[in-house]
Structures are given as structure tokens and as C-alpha cells.
Chains A and B, each alone.
Chain A
Amino acid sequence: MTRFLFFLLILLGPFGLTGCVDALEVKIPEGRPLLAVEGEITDQPGPYLVRLTKTAPYFEEDALPRVRGAVLTLADNEGHQETLREIGPGTYATSTLRGKVGNQYVLTIRSEGEEYRAETEIRRTPEIDSIRAEFRAKTATQNEGYYILYYGEETPGVGDYYRFKVFHNGILLNQPNDLIVTNDEFVDGNYINGVELTSEKGANDKPFAKGDRVRVVAESLPRDYFYFLNEMVTQLNNVGLFAAPPANVRTNVRNVQPGSDKAAVGYFAGHTVRADSLVIR
């Protein structure tokens, strides 16, 4: 539904009001570095990767500092457990563990004298029926061109959360406004008969065209991870009269070291992966 709120914002356009945005210099202090976690486990074969970095001052353009030499263990509720190997600076990988729908996982991170823990799960998933590329004429809100549509059943029972990723000729659409997360509150158990996952533009703002390859990945998410991604969507596209208050995006990485107040950011998420692809003809 956020898409419709977005319509409301662009409504001001036709009135020719002189609203505008421009970049501006602001001075802000440099925050102290925190552990930033980015990792996932899926129901597809591993290895699963966890990347550890440090937060950096907001305007610093260098790559984020990697966190090396940490000890990461991953355990599931079936009694499997393994210690991850550091396969590159700050990148840690599993070797044996296999993610499975219905299981729960605990990632433990020991680094620089602190201990952190992140809990997640892999939830049920519907299957993709198909994806299609549909050519549409210009309308009041859409330009002419190919739109990528999703078809598939939604599992009955409220409480399912999804993310969709679209790859255009192998490139992930990954601008802040390409993040698509949704839940089944309004569509529970219904057949999704063609919902746009994109505008007419694909990667690098190039329109989808005949002969282009398109791949769609559907992920079924745990509830808390959905909120994490949804807060990301809000904070990364937070402009307009009705912007939400700027606030930190949630994390599931908790510091469990007694007496420590060092927070961490980021997310270790379990999710399923279902994919389909097509060539536009």
C-alpha cells in the first residue's frame, strides 16, 4: 500500500508548486564504530556467508573496515552446529550446515572481547507459478514499456512476508527504491495474478527490451526480518511532506556480553529462495 501513499506525494506535482530537493553540506560528528553484520542462511545448499564490518562516519566514502579474526558459530534447533571459516577478510562461510524450512538458527559472534547473538528462522514458502514481461501502453501513472509481473499462489493463513529481487541481464536492481518487501495481510490465500515487480526501467535505468534476460527471486522472510527490510525502505526513501521520523533500522544482533553496552547493527536472516527467469520476446 505504500505505493499509493507515494502517489499522494507526487500529487503536488501537477500544481506546479516549486518543491525541490538539492544536496547540501551539513556538519555531523563521527559516530564511534560498531559491529555491522550482514549474513543469511537459506533453504538452498550452502555455503552461507556472513560479512562483518565496522560502521564508519556517515560521509566517509572508503569501503567499510572489515572485522577479521572473529569466531562465528552457527547452530540449528536439530543439534547441528559449526564454526564458520574466514574465507576472505571479514567474510565467514559455513561448510556443512544445511538450511531447512521450519528450522531455527542461532549465530554467535565473538569479536574484540564482545559476544553477540542473532536468532532467525526459515519460514514456509509458496512456489512461483510464473513471471511474465508485459508490454503496456502509457497511462496516467505508468510509462510505456515492459513490466515484470509475478504470478503465484499465496499460502493461506496471515503472517507470511516476502521480498522480491529482480535481476536484469544479470544485474540486481538495487537502488533504495528497488527494495520490494510485502506481507500477505491484504492478499492472504489469494492467487497473485500479475503484480508489477518493476517499472518499465530495469538495471541502470535502462528500459526492459526485447531479448533482455530477467530473473526474479522470491524470498519468504521471518516477520522480524520483514520489519528490518521495511524500515530500511522507509529510512532510505524518507523524503516528502509525510516523511517518517529518521530513526535507526532495527537489528537482530544483540550483545550478550554481561555489562557491555556496545551495540551492533545489521541482520543475520534466514529465508527461502525461489526463482524463475525469462527472456523478453
Chain B
Amino acid sequence: MLRPFLLFLLLLLPGLTAMAQQPGPGRAPDANASVTLSGYLRDAANGEALVGASVFVKALAVGATANEYGFYSLTLPKGTYTITYTYLGYEAQETPLTLTTSLTRSVRLATRGVQTSEVLITGQKPDENVKSTEMSVNRLDLKQVKLMPALLGEVDVIRSIQLLPGISTVGEGAAGFNVRGGGVDQNLILLDEAPIYNASHLFGLFSTFNPDAVKDIKLVKGGIPAQYGGRLSSLLDVRMKEGNTQRLGVSGGVGLIMSRLAVEAPIVKDKGSFIVAGRRSYGDLFLKLIPAQKDNQAYFYDLSMKANYTLGTQDRLYVSGYLGRDVFAFGKDFKNTLGNRTGTVRWNHVLNARLFANVTGVVSKYDYGLGVPEGNQAFDWKSNIVNYNLKADFNYYRTPQSTLNFGAGAIYYTFLPGRVTPGNASSIFRPLALDEQQAVEYDAYLDNEQTFSARLSAQYGLRLSMFDYLGAGTVFDYEGPDGRQKTPVNPRQYGAGKVIKRYPNLEPRASLRYALSETSSLKASYNRMVQYIHLVSNTTASSPLDVWTPSTNNIRPEKADQVAVGYFRNFQDNAYEASVEVFGKRMDNQIDYINGANTLLNKNLEAELLYGRGRAYGAEFYVKKNQGDFTGWISYTLSRSERQINGLNNNDWYVNKYDKTHYLSVVGLYQLNPRWTLSGTFSYSTGIATTFPDSRYSYQGLIIPNVNGDVRNNYRVPAYHRLDLAATREGKTDPNRRWHGSWTFSVYNAYARRNAYSIYFRQNKDNPLRTEAVRLSVLGSVLPSASYNFNF
């Protein structure tokens, strides 16, 4: 059944056994001369793994980088060396070592300067921008993000990444984000390896990630390594904190909308730790004070948990979980709940000093329910997507110049597109359910990070992915002209577990770096991405009721080929980093909808889908100042994103609603003195594309807008721009007190611009002959806020 995969795995296996046996006497040609130095790099204060920290041997000019779990491995000729361990923001450690045999050496680095218990995570070497093979990658420094202005004072990682080049949104309050002209469902959002299917609370105003529980955020827009797949546009890799292995730590905050609390502590000092972090909004508590509103509920909460434990020197176990929920209710008239829940178990195993393995098991579910609890229209409507994922990933540190990454995995999906049950015996509604759907996605990959010379390095690999759309189920073909509702024909029944349709794909990936000098480099990348599951969303912003659908016999996997080239340069001893990237992307099997399509609870949804091509291209400019009292960045993107769908816009190309010609962000942080930090962000972007009518007619006294030629997205809403300001006041640092508090004051939309979320057309209520254009702005005035944060 899985022949191509077995074949691929068989090809991998001999290599794997060979690797597992190394280093052993007489096996590798250089085994007698080489020894391997390996171990973990951790934060001295709290034991967190230092992802991306580096180990360097100056005499040989070779080095290694710690992986996502802080593991490093460096194979060297026998000898005496000075080993340097460095990480940005931490005191470097230099240790003379005489290596005659392989050695495990785990190192703890201390944060530079004043020792506080706050985690400082930057994940970058100062010259990473120039030296790394990676391109089109953005990392967020959470410490910096926490000082930046935030909507209602709530730090939000998804809002913050929208200040980076190539990343935009269809409007404030809209869920998700768009990367390099891709849809919101084309981003693989992973929280500790578990996919998050709806990363928003409150329809998009806040993201699901609790900043207190997040350790590292990385967004990859291009040159995506072979390890990752399943979405066309990007990978947002969010990793949770591991928990303090040294002592109890508590942090939290109180804001206008919600409060947060996180507790972390060792389970056994130096062996294991945990973190539990929760947030809850309390808008509903105010509702209770208003008599007319007391039966109404509107709140959300989330809980992030993670624990890890070291089982001997070779093994470490991580367990993490997430539970988020939004609840809305109008008395007994209406109720809606929705949210994500995930669970991840990871087992790190050091097979030997040069081979690191990680086995991951994931469960993730997004579901919503809505309904009327009582009365003759009582009903209950449920929908969900669930996946189970099992995978194994390996890092093989072949030589200091080459690291092989390989692995394989499978994801089993179930989809419940919608099921309605009557709420009671007297309900007018009847039971109605769309068929549940099942699918499996397989992948296997092999990838090599290779340094050819001091100037030239590359990362290249191949991913083999395959998708099986499985029974039980009834499938149809659809007949009729594009652009109108089609007719289902030729029904076929499939039994449980039977493959209805199989899609195998090869996804090559490559990135290349050529150093022009110590401070500048050229990079290029190519990646092919394939996406097998799709969010069916026909609204301006994706709604929490949108349903994910698998590729089927009719819906084919989306594919994208992306090429990017870039010039990277650092200035003034890495105080400034800068880059210019140009990208081009071609996308196939893009999904769109006929006019008036109904995407919810539609038994013949596929009758209303259209398929076509997409293309996106652009240039991204980025300058960042990393050092000094004044830090920040400027990001500017010039881009275009279009699609051509038979049945829409007369089969011609048209711009996507999320196409933004210009997109500018300016972020500045100024440390006034040790206690006060001021910050500001400004963003400007072209308004989203939309369709304006050019004429009108009347039907039974109502005026209907019409556009000649049935064109799409022929206009733009006015440009979007906004200034936010913030000031943070740190509490006094008192060595005798563990309590540390800070106040953040922020102003969102400082000059109160009424940015248009959309423009629509309507007839005047009082004079039906008059028609008008109307602007909807979501956050159209100044929103000040204050929040207090603490840790001890």
C-alpha cells in the first residue's frame, strides 16, 4: 500500500544502521583520528535549551549549532583546542579541552549583564543574517516584542510578525496572516509540533499563543527545509518554554482584557521541569454587572502546559499540551464555543554522539459548536478536524561540514464538516449531517546541510509526500459550466479504509549561500510545497466557522514553486543587519468559489468550488538595528498576488483580496534609562482589493448593485496606516527581593485613523432611491491601555 515510502525508508535504513554504529573502531575511515564532542547547551538560570547557540573551534575554524533541543555535536581530529560556546545575550564560555576520546560535555551559559530570572531568547548569532544558509526566515525576539506597543496591552505574536517583511493581513481583527501573497490557510502553524487550525481568539483580535509560555518563534517564508511540508506559504514554528529546572518561577500580568499567570518549577532539579501557563479574558464579568446582559457570556481562555524529564544521559522526554476555548452565549437564545486542543509527546534519544533522534506523537483538534439551547428552534451544530501524527526525525552530524537531517511520519486526519441535531423533541429542525471524511498524509525526507568552503554553503533535500483520501464515503463527479453550481453525477460508494484517491508528490528544496565578504552574502533558494488540506473560506476574513477539507477526488492538492534570491549585509560589527530579497511564486490548484457560494453545511460543497492558478512576486527590504539604546527595524514589501480561476472574472487574472502593493512597517524601541523604555510602531499598506459596482437596478423596491462584465477586485479600499506607542516602566531591581514588576502603557491607533476594513454599498434607509458607499472600520479610534506584569 505504501510502496514508495517503504522503498524510500529501505534506502535510508542502511545509512541509518551505519550511522548508529559510529563512531566505532575501524568503521569510519577517520575513526581513529577523529573524536566527537557533543552535549547540550542550556541557560544557567533556568535550564532552558539554547536553540541555535554555537560551539566554535577557532584553531580549525569549524563549529556547530545547537538544534531545537539544545543538542550539539562536533567531530574533530584528536588534539587540544579552545572550545568557545556563544549565544547572543549570554556570556561566552571558553574552555581548553584535550580530546583523545569522544566526550559529552553539556554547558550552561549565563545571561550577560544583570542576572534576572527572565528568559532572554534570541536564537540568533550576531552574524546569523549573513552567515546562515537560511533565508526568508524571521525570528521574533520575545523580549523585544514585550516592549512593543500591543493592542489593549496584550502581547500578541501573530500581530507582531505582521510587522516583518512579506507578512500581511486583510485587516485588523482578521484571523491569521498572509505570507508572500498566500492565503491564511497556507501557513503551517505548529505549537510544539502540533498544528493549530485556528490561531485566534475572539475571531482574530488576539492570537492563541500565550507569550508567557512561548520560548521561540520562527517564521519561514521560503527555502523551507525538507523536514516541513503540508502548507504552501510558510511555516510558523512556535516552541513552548520547557520550564525552569533550577527553581520555582512565577510570572503573570493583569491587563484590560485578560489576565495571565504562568508557573514553572523543577520536577527534580536539573533532571526535569514543568510550566503551566493560563490566560482568561474577563469582559464577561463586566457583562454580569449590566442587568440586561447578565445572562450573556463572552470570554476565552487558554492553558499551555509542558513538562520534560531526563531519563539517563541519552534520553529526554517532553510532554506538552494546549487547550484554548472561546465561549459566547446570549442567554438561552444562542450559544457558540470553539477552540483548539493539542497534545505532543516527544522523546529525544542520543543514539550516539553524532546521531540525535526525536520521536514525536501529536494529537490536535479544532472544533466548534453552536446552537440554540431551548425553544422550538433548538439545535446543536458541531464541526471539527482532528489529526494524529507520528513521526521520527534524525540529525546526523556527519562531519563538521555536513549534517544530515532525515525522517518520516504519517498524519491521520478525520474531518467532521458539520452535523446538526435538533435540540429537543419539539424542535422544528431535523437531524442533518455531512459525511465524515478521513485521510492519511505520509512523508519522508532527507536533507543535507553542507559547508563546501568558507564562502559556499548549502542546504538541500528532497521530501516525498503522499496523501490518501480514505473511505468510508460516497463521492461524486461534478458536471456543468465553471462559475455556476455544478451537478453531482456518478455516485460511488467506498468502504471504510478504502483509498478513494491517492496523491504522491516529490518536493525538492534547496538553499544556497555565497559569502561575498565577512559581512555580506548572497543567498538563493527554491522550494516546492504541496498542501493536502484546505480551509474552505469565502469571506473577507476567515471565520471561526470555516471548515477544513481534505483533498478529494475533485479537490486536488495545492502546489507551489517558489524561487527567492537575496543580498544580506551586516554593518558596524553586526550592530545593523540588512537584507533585500526578491521572490517569485507559482501556485496550482488554488481554490475559489462561485458567486453566492454556500460553504457551510453544504452537502454538495464541491459543486460550488472552482480551481485555478495563482502567482505572487515581490521584493522585501529589511534593515534592523540590534544594538544600543535605540533598536528597531524598518521593513518594506513591494508585491503582487494574483489568481486566474476559470469561472471568475471572465477567466482573466485578478488580484487577490490580500494583495498589497506596498507594505511598510517601522518599529523603534528606545531605552531611556534602566527603568523606562519607549517604543512605537508605524505601519502603512495599500488597501485590500475589493469589487465596486458601477451600476444599479431595482428588484421589488430594493436596489441591487451590479458591475459590468462581472469583474472581480477592481478597486481598493483606502490605504491603511496606523501608529502605536508604548512606554514600559520596569520596577526597581532589588537584589533582596525576587519580585520584579513592570507597567506597560500603550496607545493603539494613536492618531485615531478610521482605517477601512471594508467598503460596501447600500440603499439609504430613509430614501430607498438614494444609494451610498459605507466604510466599516473595526478599531477606528484611539485605544489606550495599561497592564502590569510581574515575575518572581
Question: A: which residues have CB within 8 A of B?
Answer: 1, 4-5, 7-8, 11-12, 14-26, 28-34, 36, 38, 53, 55-64, 138-142, 172, 174-176, 179, 185-195, 227, 230-232, 234-236, 238-250, 265-267
- Contacts A/B (CB < 8 Å), 19 sampled: A8-B544, A11-B298, A21-B775, A23-B773, A26-B759, A31-B695, A38-B698, A55-B706, A58-B771, A62-B769, A140-B331, A190-B430, A231-B595, A231-B596, A232-B699, A245-B595, A246-B761, A248-B707, A265-B704
Kindly report which residue of chain B lies nearest to residue A17, judged by CB atoms. Answer: B779
- Contact at B776–A21, with CB atoms within 8 Å? yes
- Which of A17, A19, A30, A53 is the one whose CB lies under 8 Å from B698? A53
Task: Compute the total of residue contacts between A and B using a CB distance below 8 Å.
Answer: 263
Kindly report which residue of chain B lies nearest to residue A138, judged by CB atoms. Answer: B292
- Contact at A18–B783, with CB atoms within 8 Å? yes
- Contact at B691–A8, with CB atoms within 8 Å? no
What is the CA–CA distance of A245 and B541 in the complex, to the nearest angstrom?
Answer: 10
- Contact at A246–B760, with CB atoms within 8 Å? yes
- Contact at B701–A187, with CB atoms within 8 Å? no
- Contact at A55–B697, with CB atoms within 8 Å? yes
Kindly report which residue of chain B lies nearest to residue A190, judged by CB atoms. Answer: B428
What is the CA–CA distance of A28 and B696 in the complex, to the nearest angstrom?
Answer: 12
Kindly report which residue of chain B lies nearest to residue A227, judged by CB atoms. Answer: B596
Mark each residue of chain B from 275 to 309: 1 if its CB lies under 8 Å from any CB of chain A, else 0.
00000000110010000110110100000000000
- Which of B370, B377, B754 is the one whose CB lies under 8 Å from A22? B754
- Contact at B543–A57, with CB atoms within 8 Å? no
- Contact A240 to B776, CB < 8 A, known contacts A53-B698, A245-B691, A250-B596: yes
- Contact at B298–A245, with CB atoms within 8 Å? no
When distances are taken between beta carbons in the complex, the residues of chain A under 8 Å from B328 are 8, 11
- Contact at B779–A248, with CB atoms within 8 Å? no
- Contact A234 to B758, CB < 8 A, known contacts A58-B694, A174-B702, A247-B691: no
- Which of A24, A61, A232, A246 is the one whose CB lies under 8 Å from B691? A246
When distances are taken between beta carbons in the complex, the residues of chain B under 8 Å from A245 are 538-540, 593, 595, 657, 690-691, 712
B611 on the A face (CB < 8 A) = no
Kindly report which residue of chain B lies nearest to residue A191, judged by CB atoms. Answer: B428
- Contact at A236–B704, with CB atoms within 8 Å? yes
Kindly report which residue of chain B lies nearest to residue A140, judged by CB atoms. Answer: B331
What is the CA–CA distance of A211 and B420 in the complex, to the nearest angstrom?
Answer: 40
- Which of A4, A18, A24, A244 is the one whose CB lies under 8 Å from B370? A4
B763 on the A face (CB < 8 A) = yes
Kindly report which residue of chain A lies nearest to residue B328, judged by CB atoms. Answer: A11
Question: B: which residues have CB within 8 A of A?
Answer: 171, 173-174, 202-205, 283-284, 287, 292-293, 295-296, 298, 328, 330-334, 336, 370, 372, 376-377, 379, 381, 420, 426, 428-430, 432, 485, 538-541, 543-545, 593, 595-596, 600-601, 657, 690-702, 704-708, 710, 712, 715, 754, 756-763, 765, 768-781, 783
- Contact at B376–A188, with CB atoms within 8 Å? no
- Contact at B693–A58, with CB atoms within 8 Å? yes
- Contact at B693–A139, with CB atoms within 8 Å? no
When distances are taken between beta carbons in the complex, the residues of chain B under 8 Å from A174 are 700-702, 768
What is the CA–CA distance of A64 and B698 in the complex, to the nearest angstrom?
Answer: 8
What is the CA–CA distance of A57 and B693 in the complex, to the nearest angstrom?
Answer: 9
When distances are taken between beta carbons in the complex, the residues of chain A under 8 Å from B204 are 241
When distances are taken between beta carbons in the complex, the residues of chain B under 8 Å from A193 are 376, 426, 428
Looking at the assembled complex, report how far the CB atom of A151 sits from the nearest CB atom of chain B, in whole angstroms. 10
When distances are taken between beta carbons in the complex, the residues of chain A under 8 Å from B202 are 12, 15
When distances are taken between beta carbons in the complex, the residues of chain A under 8 Å from B765 are 175
Looking at the assembled complex, report how far the CB atom of A97 sits from the nearest CB atom of chain B, in whole angstroms. 21
- Contact at A19–B541, with CB atoms within 8 Å? no
What is the CA–CA distance of A32 and B695 in the complex, to the nearest angstrom?
Answer: 8
What is the CA–CA distance of A248 and B715 in the complex, to the nearest angstrom?
Answer: 15
- Contact at A139–B697, with CB atoms within 8 Å? no
- Contact A242 to B539, CB < 8 A, known contacts A11-B298, A139-B332: yes
- Contact at A140–B296, with CB atoms within 8 Å? yes
Looking at the assembled complex, report how far the CB atom of A268 sits from the nearest CB atom of chain B, in whole angstroms. 11
- Which of A17, A59, A140, A231 is the one whose CB lies under 8 Å from B771? A59
| Other A-B pairs, 20, CB within 8 Å; known A25-B773, A232-B699, A232-B702 | A1-B600, A4-B334, A4-B336, A8-B545, A23-B774, A26-B773, A32-B695, A38-B699, A53-B698, A60-B696, A140-B295, A140-B330, A141-B331, A176-B762, A193-B428, A231-B596, A241-B757, A242-B539, A243-B540, A245-B540
When distances are taken between beta carbons in the complex, the residues of chain A under 8 Å from B538 are 244-245
